[in-house]
Structure 1
Amino acid sequence: MRRRDARWLLALLGLGTLAYFTLRDYQGHIGGVAELDGYYYYVYLRSLQMDGDLEFANEYDKWGNPFRFGTTRTGHARNVFGIGPAICWAPFFAATHALVRIGRALGRPLSLEGFSRAHQIGTFYGSLLFGWLAVLLCYLMVLRLLSDARFESPAPPRSAGERFISAPLSARRKESLALWTAIGGALAGPLPYYCLTRASYSHAAAAMATSLLVLAWLRWRREMTTRRFVLLGALTGFAVLVRPACLPFVLLPLEAGVAAVWPALMRRDFRALGAPLLGAAVALLVFSPQLLMWSYLYGSPLTVPQGEGFLWWSDSAWHSTLFSPRNGLLPSAPLYALSLLGILGAAWRGLYGARWLLLVFAAFTFMGGAVHDWWGWEFSARRFTSCLPIFIYGLAVSLRFVIARLAARPRRTAAVVAGAAIVAAAIFNIAWMRDFGRRNLRWYQVRSTQGLYMTVTNGLVDRLYRAVGNPLSLPGSLAFTFRRGGSPEVYDRIDGSYLLGEVNPATNPAGKPLLHSMMGLASLRFRYNLSRDFGFPVRDGPVHYVPLRRPHGHIFLPINRPGAVTLLLRARAAQPGTRLLATFNGKRVGKGPLAHGHWSTLRLAIPAKLVERGINRLDLYHFLPRPRPVARELGGNLGKSPVDIAVVSGGLYGGRFCEIWVAGRRVSHNRKGLNVAIIDRNSGAVIDERGFDVHIHPAMFGELSRYLDRFPKGAIVAFGARGDAGRAFKQKTAAPMLARFGAKTPLWLTPNDGYAAIGVLGAPLGSAIESHVTRGHARARVGRKPPPWREVARYAAIKLR
């Protein structure tokens, strides 16, 4: 290791120490805090060191039991967490307790009970040191790999890309690559949080243990001796002791053992089994404290202390652990996408140890997805912290490829970088022009370059999300689109937000398993659970509901619990005679009449075989009675319209929009100012549609008058104002223009109102159908309602049981 690298690593430790003793969490605490999971890890340490036993009842009585654990069948206070972290922290606790005694002797008011803030801060500083050691070990691992000829591909490169991967690096570049890969890969993931704010958790110690195991395995796997089998077994047992979820890493010493003894076994020389079996015995011995603890608390050395329903091997949510917006690995730590590409590429080429590391990662992901609360509740994809050495390995491969490519073609690289910068600048400018033209994005709306840059950039990101969701979640969101018919944006909004199964009562008795089982469909929280066939929330007396505008709509129901489910659906039909057919994940689950005139509760029993872990889909098909004929009477006894016409307008306080519908089809483009459509009186065809921006050009009133004069008398005019267009109305110019199609509302007196009108050119004054409102939407209609206005049914809530 170069002195420069050592200085960087020591500086990292110094900065981490400074942050540990200065940064405050949301409760104002500095350093680690024994709370939630960390509280139960710490209880082992306090009980052993201070009481000399493993009876936690007195700690629970005095300092709390946040998960409300009861007693086990052996009569002991329950603790589902492991003893390994307490063993790792024991030296730090002992040293801290000695310092507390000294401080107390000097007259400081310090507690000797073992649960003081001084004890916790000093003890959990060990987690920061463990995290730093994990970075150091990963640095040594990458440095070793880059310096080892076995890291090179065993086969000659077959393409330019493979030649880049195998290109030699100088010693200085290898050391720099190893250093910044280890530091960057560690800081880009969840590890820092669990070294600082949540230092009471086991993740930092687990990252150190797995990093040490992977480093030793990569160095020794092809040169195994009895001593190395013993050491590798001890490291394996230690990693699983610190965190039993590290069990997939057992595959690494297993591979080393099989590779070492297989040739001897083929010769029927069974003496070669001695060293691997000795290593396995040592691993079991190191792990034995946890086995003894389980036996003491639960009466069996092999158990799942979290209880029934904690592991679902037959329905692993492995894809969610990788792609879900709720603490999925790639959305939470984007740099690790580069790591996974690197480990996949290395495994494809057969680089040293890559295939076995990929197998460990796959097993770890599957096991993490089988856990009930696969998202881990806390910051980021915390359970993947144990896979830090695998991510660093993959990141080293990817960065090595990038560095070799940059060095091989510097001119092309410079051109690509310059081109990317130009394209980015052009995209930003085009987006700004678009927003400026469509949204009137002027200075008094942004008032600063920060406001400008944030507005335009957020618009670009919003359009990207609406199109493809989170690009890092694409495999998961595309699978959701294919299976359930929802968009990638919807996946990013609702995956992981469970209605049932948020809490497993066997694991956390203090949790509320039905906490989110009530869906108030009018709540904006569930807006993305509903298809676009549902309208905006409406209030009907004490009931808030969403109207269903079309005969078919669907609702997405994320569920994290196996077994049958009962749905209680509160709904009412918009017209009598409506019948409902409900399907769940494509299978029919109910059919019958839907009540009209009053709210009713429909009960749908969903069998267990239809319920899937993840996002389920409830489809609602409505069979409507034959519609009654609707007269299309124009105002002023001017006869009938050949087609249905509707205009809706939102004023300054009503959404600032305008829509014109003809024959059930929207024909306007929501232009700023005034929107006008001319409809043929005989055929119902739209002759022309235009917008007039009277905000900037008040003279457009005259242009609008001349525009109306182009059409023959008797033509139907659909007219709407967007936003506060009435502010530009002047009685002298606006009144004659409105009178051309029989309108007479004095909009210049109510400039902020939404305004909609339907009239006939040449008709007498006052014959037009007009509507204007200050808040809400102004609506003028001839004939049937357009699709967005219709109501097939009203849905208020869904309760799941």
Structure 2
Amino acid sequence: MNRTIKMIVGGALALVVLVWTVHDSFRQHQVIDTDDWKTELRADAAGYYIYLPGVIHHGMRPGWLSDERLRIIGSGIQEDTARNIIRTKYTYGTALIELPFFLAAELIVGWGNSDGFTPVHHRAMDVAGIVLWWSGLLLLWSALRRKWPVPGSIGLALLFLMSQGTNVFYYAFRSPAYSHIGSWVLVCLALWCWAHGVSGRDGRWRGALFRIACAWLILIRPLDLLLVLALYALVLADEPFTRRPRWFLGQIVIGIALALPQMFYWQAAYGDPIVFSYQNEGFTNWRTPHLLATLLAPKNGLLPYAPAFLLLPVAVLAAWHRERTRTIIVLFMFLLYWYAVSSWWDPAFGCSFGQRSFVQTVPLLAMITWCAVHHWWPRRPAIVLLLLAPFLAAAFINNMLAHLYDMCYWSTTWDPTQWLGNIRQVFN
């Protein structure tokens, strides 16, 4: 089978999977009323999304949201009648990613004919989640195969493991309007730019894309500065051109350009262009971080809902001698991220499927795992297959768990009753 036929067949299969996943997402969500608290546009998701109908149709002025809608959205936004503005503690970065899908919904419903929370707008966010998830997988495939070639079947198995053996799929499929799947695709984009080169005549536009992705990540979640530092470390280690002042000046200009709209909004909403809008929330547990709970707890711990992360220490050991610099970068980033998330005032992060803050770190887990497989496969293929087999089985189970999860973990931190009950449901 020549290369062209392979590309056609692969593209057709990818399209079939994409369409089927969108259909499955619609089927899952259409039974949930748009006024239900389990809707896609609830809580944090609505806080990000509010910029779209708010700015485009109402200039962020209050008075157009019903009391019921405000109740579903929760405490993330307030109508400030004194300043005549809707205040949201979230930044506009996620809304900017969702903008094309919102505009498509507006064209279907009629420009400005609704409050922006119709069933069509909800389905648009469902499509957004699946498209962003799928785009990230394609970018990862291209990036990692370029850096570390592996057989196609092994590469597909690794992508399946990273998307289903973690909570990435859940935040594409069940909670698509949260920030995490948008951040996921930005990290995948940055890795793609790095893998294909960001310097030279052919790489300049990728260098610009890399810096846009990095600035966008920080705009969405300032904590992802840790991710950006890791991405920068990878680029600086490989591309001497990026160590020049001109490169960093470009990053500063891009960062300011993305930050300015947010600063103008904060000035109007809070009276100051730079605001910690989360107010009484923060990293208050920095002296006593909840490290074990963040990692292992049935209530939103990382490993019970993202078993693929168990491969991280194995991959680090496997890649240590041949890829030491990259391995140190990834390992250091994960340790810092683990500490930071464990220091948050609520380390469970409310209603979540596992540790949702780690969704955007999965591309780096994929990178180091793929690297390890690349080095092991020619000499130890049996070990690779023996390692992957149980993790692929766990990924299938995790996919079914994501489908039936009840949006929140209602038991206490270390009470496994709900998690075990969900696992039993999977096998029934």
How far apart are residue 344 of structure 1 and its match? 5.0
Q: For residues 646-687 of structure 1, what are the alpha-carbon distances to aligned partners after superposition, in whole Å with 9 as ceiling and x for unaligned?
A: xxxxxxxxxxxxxxxxxxxxxxxxxxxxxxxxxxxxxxxxxx
Tell me the SS of whatever aligns to 1:78: strand
**Alignment deviations for residues 585-612 of structure 1 (CA, whole Å, 9 cap, x no partner):** xxxxxxxxxxxxxxxxxxxxxxxxxxxx
Residue 674 of structure 1 is matched in structure 2 by: none
Q: Residue 216 of structure 2 aligns with which residue?
A: 238
Residue 292 of structure 1: aligned partner: 264
Q: Report how far residue 77 of structure 1 moved.
A: 3.6
Alignment of 1:454-473 (within 5 A): none
Q: CA deviation at 1:186?
A: 0.5
Q: CA deviation at 1:293?
A: 3.0
Alignment pair present for 1:141 and 2:143: yes
Contact kept, 8 Å, 1:73 with 1:298, in 2: the verdict is: no
Return the match for 1:13 from 12, 18, 31.
18
Distance in 2, matches of 1:259 and 1:74, equals 51
Mapping 1:737-776, distance limit 5 Å: none
**What does residue 796 of structure 1 align with?**
none
Give 1:95 shift: 1.4
- Tell me the residue number matched to 1:91: 100
> CA separation of 1:144/1:351 partners in 2, compared to 1, >3 Å: closer, same or farther?
farther
Match of residue 431 from structure 1? none
Change (3 A) 1:221 1:261: closer
Q: Which of residues 19, 31, 36 is equivalent to 2:43? A: 36
Tell me how far apart the structure 2 counterparts of residues 80 and 60 of structure 1 sit (CA, whole Å): 19
Per the alignment, residue 359 of structure 2 pairs with 385
- Secondary structure of the residue that 1:55 maps to in structure 2? coil
1:61 deviates by 4.2
Which of 56, 59, 63 in structure 1 is aligned with 2:69? 63
Write the letter of the residue equivalent to 2:47: Y
Letter of the aligned partner of 1:234 in structure 2? I
Identify the residue that residue 477 of structure 1 maps to in structure 2: none
Q: 1:101 and 1:203, CA in 2 relative to 1: closer, same or farther beyond 3 A?
A: same
Question: Quick one: higher RCO (CA 8 Å, sep 6+), 1 or 2?
Answer: 2
1:303 pairs with 2:275: yes
Residue 353 (1) aligns with residue 326 (2): yes
Select the structure that is richer in helix. Answer: 2
The aligned amino acid for 2:193 is A
Aligned to 1:213: 190
Looking at structure 2, the residues matched to 113 and 70 of structure 1 have their Cα atoms a distance apart, in angstroms, of 16
| Contact 2:48/2:91, CA 8 A, preserved across alignment | yes
Instruction: Quote how far apart the aligned CAs of 1:285 are.
Output: 1.8
After TM superposition, give the deviation of residue 236 of structure 1 in Å: 0.8
Q: In structure 2, the residue corresponding to 1:58 is in which secondary structure?
A: coil
Deviation at 1:259, TM superposition (A): 5.2
**C-alpha RMSD of matched pairs (Å):** 3.8
Gap change, CA 1:318 and 1:344, over 3 Å in 2: farther
Larger strand share, 1 or 2: 1
Structure 1 match to 2:408: none
Cα contact 1:222–1:260 (8 A) shared by 2 = no
Deviation sequence 1:456-496 (CA, Å, 0-9, x none): xxxxxxxxxxxxxxxxxxxxxxxxxxxxxxxxxxxxx9645
Q: Which amino acid aligns with 1:354?
A: T
Contact 1:32/1:196 (8 A) holds in 2: no
Note the C-alpha offset of 1:264. Answer: 11
Write the deviation string for residues 241-291 of structure 1: whole angstroms up to 9, x where unpaired. Answer: 3443322122145436765898999xxxxxx41232222321332343333
The whole-number CA distance in structure 2 between the counterparts of 1:136 and 1:264 is: 25
SS at the partner of 1:23?
helix
What's the % identity of the aligned pairs?
19
Q: Normalised by the size of structure 2, how large is the TM-score? A: 0.76
Residue 173 of structure 2 aligns to a residue whose secondary structure is coil
Q: Structure 2: how far apart are the matches of 1:72 and 1:187?
A: 41
Query: Is the deviation greater in 297-306 or in 339-348?
Result: 339-348
Deviations 1:343-378 (A, max 9, x none): 454245435733323333233222222221222222
Q: Is the 8 A contact 2:235 2:242 kept in 1?
A: no
Matches within 5 A, 1:231-630: 231-252=209-230, 254-255=232-233, 272-312=244-284, 313-343=286-316, 345-347=318-320, 349-351=322-324, 353-376=326-349, 377-400=351-374, 403-404=377-378, 406-407=380-381, 495=413
Question: Residue 191 of structure 1 is aligned with which of 149, 153, 168?
Answer: 168
Deviation at 1:183, TM superposition (A): 2.5
Gap change, CA 1:309 and 1:42, over 3 Å in 2:
closer
Per-residue CA deviation, residues 718-750 of structure 1 (Å, 9 max, x unaligned), is xxxxxxxxxxxxxxxxxxxxxxxxxxxxxxxxx
The answer to whether the 8 Å contact 1:33/1:200 transfers is yes
Structure 1 unmatched runs, 5+: 103-109, 148-168, 266-271, 421-492, 498-523, 526-801
Contact 2:94-2:182 within 8 A present in 1 as well: yes
Per the TM alignment, residue 25 of structure 1 is displaced from its structure 2 partner at its CA by 7.6
Distance of 2:176 and 2:217 partners within structure 1: 18
- CA–CA separation in structure 2 for the residues paired with 1:101 and 1:226: 40
The change in CA–CA distance for 1:355 and 1:372 in structure 2 (over 3 A counts) is same
Larger radius of gyration: 1
Give yes or no for contact 2:226–2:336 (8 Å, CA) kept in 1: yes
**How far apart are residue 35 of structure 1 and its match?**
1.3
User: 1:85 corresponds to which letter in structure 2?
Assistant: T
